[in-house]
Amino acid sequence: MTDAARRWRMALGPAASGALPDPEGEAARQDEALTWLYQAAPADARRGPGGTQPSRPEALHWLGRIRKLFPKSTCQRIEADALNRFRLADLLADPEVLARVDPSPATLRLLLSMRGTLPPALLALLRETVRRVVDDITARLRPRIELALSGRRNRQARGRLARAADFDARTTLRRNLAHIDPETGRLIPERLFFHGRQRRSLPWQVILCVDQSGSMTDSVIHSAVMAAILSGLPGVRVRMVLFDTQVVDVSDRLTDPLETLMTVRLGGGTDIGGAMQYCAGLVDDPSRCVLVLISDFCEGGSTRRLETQVAQLVEARVRLLGLAALDDRGDPFHDRRVAARLADLGMQIGAMTPDRLAGWLATVMA
């Protein structure tokens, strides 16, 4: 079947003569999703495909499926038709439906992406559901992140060796006067005392530079949660910027990941070099700064400018980490050529889940 024939088959639906060549392929799944919306009667669609499935969970699953099957521009048109034809806005306004929403990143991604198509009256209800999902993700990640960052430092503190330069002779003499050898008159100390080293622990600055292009949705969600957790730890100052072709600094709302996520506008192009240049201006003390670039490394701007900016930050002794993915599965999707070039310049590149990123940060800041 030619591409033109396939398109006509998709437009006409199952009533057209001829079947799609691959009944299990992507085209068949697209055809099924479109049939559910445009061929079924509205009442049946509210119940589910064929009128046999519960309406509300199926509608949410259907919305999630179309975002995987169609490009963004097509999804926007399909969603608008679904909201008008089958009153899916009423579905999302039902408290019982929202109460049964699975608190997962996939659900959160779906709800956030629908902000622009929902009536204003539903936004407050949507925010409450989004907050519930965010709180669930935070509760799962907080113990692992705090353990990774605080546990490592405590182990180092316990293992610190006493230094001769810290020997406290006066306290050692005073506390061991009862241990003088009567025959020789010499002091035989039972315990040595040392001055406590009053080292001023300089704070670390962590800058999260997060790509908010459409392919990085899960990474944005976990980055917002991680920024909130990090900002509550002692000795860590956190800045966070979101970027596509523009840069949005959300450092003033990190304590509430919901507010950060409501700022996100997923999609658009990508200018990593411009974002890194902005982040370079946020660095206070290069030797105590970790800059984490979370991106698919698909640079839409000048690759040369990106490489120049990374080289300058490395020369200034900023610790640079490049994270290719930040979701529960840790499945990386990135431009390997650009990532390899940044690695050659001194950026450490990795792909890992959020709790493992926390361990990576702890190692870098040791």
Comparison of pLDDT for 302 and 119, the residue scoring more: 302
pLDDT for residue 266 is more than 90: no
Question: 288 or 23: whose pLDDT is higher?
Answer: 288
Query: What sections of the chain are H helices per DSSP?
Result: 3-12, 26-38, 42-47, 55-69, 72-86, 88-92, 95-99, 105-113, 120-158, 169-175, 217-231, 257-263, 272-280, 303-315, 336-345, 354-364
Pairing mode of beta strands 348-350, 247-249? unpaired
Q: How many CB atoms lie within 10 A of CB 325?
A: 22
Q: What is the DSSP string of 251-311?
A: GGGTT-HHHHHHH----S---HHHHHHHHHTT-S-GGGEEEEEES-----S-HHHHHHHHH
**291-317 mean pLDDT:** 94
Confidence band of 45 (pLDDT split at 50, 70, 90): very low
Higher pLDDT: 71 or 163? It is: 71
Supply the pLDDT for residue 317: 95
Predicted TM-score (pTM) of the model is 0.65
pLDDT at 114: 67
Which pLDDT belongs to residue 312?
96
Chain segment 74-102, per-residue pLDDT in tens: 776 776 676 566 555 566 666 666 666 66
pLDDT, position 142: 83
The rounded mean pLDDT for the chain is: 75
| Percentage of residues in the chain having pLDDT higher than 90 | 22
User: With bands split at pLDDT 50, 70 and 90, how would you rate the model's confidence at 362?
Assistant: confident
Q: What average pLDDT does the segment 246-274 reach?
A: 84
Tell me the per-residue pLDDT of 61-72, one tens digit each, with 9 for 90 and over.
676 677 678 776
223, 250 in Cβ contact below 8 A? Answer: no
CA–CA dist 342, 339 (Å, integer): 5
Least confident span in 136-145, 309-318, 319-328:
319-328
State the amino acid at position 296 in one-letter form.
Answer: D
Task: Measure the CA–CA gap between 49 and 36, rounded to whole angstroms.
Answer: 6
* Structure token digits, residue 92: 């999302």
What pLDDT is recorded for position 180? 81
Query: Which amino acid would we find at residue 39?
Result: Q
Point out the least confidently predicted range of 109-113, 201-205, 304-308.
Answer: 109-113
Higher pLDDT, 226 or 121: 226
Cα separation of 81 and 98, whole Å? 21
- pLDDT band for position 49 (cuts 50, 70, 90): very low
Whether the predicted pLDDT of 123 surpasses 80: no
What's residue 167's pLDDT? 72
- pLDDT higher than threshold 60 for residue 53: no
Spatial contact of 331 and 118, defined as CB atoms under 8 Å apart: no
What pLDDT band is residue 158 in, cutting at 50, 70 and 90? very low
The answer, yes or no, to whether residue 153 has pLDDT greater than 50, is no
Angstrom distance (rounded) from CA 125 to CA 122: 5
pLDDT of residue 55: 45
Q: What domains sit in the chain, N to C, each tagged with a CATH number?
A: 3-11+18-128 (no CATH), 204-364 (3.40.50.410)
Q: Which residues, at least 6 apart from 87, have a Cβ–Cβ distance to it below 8 Å? A: 42, 46
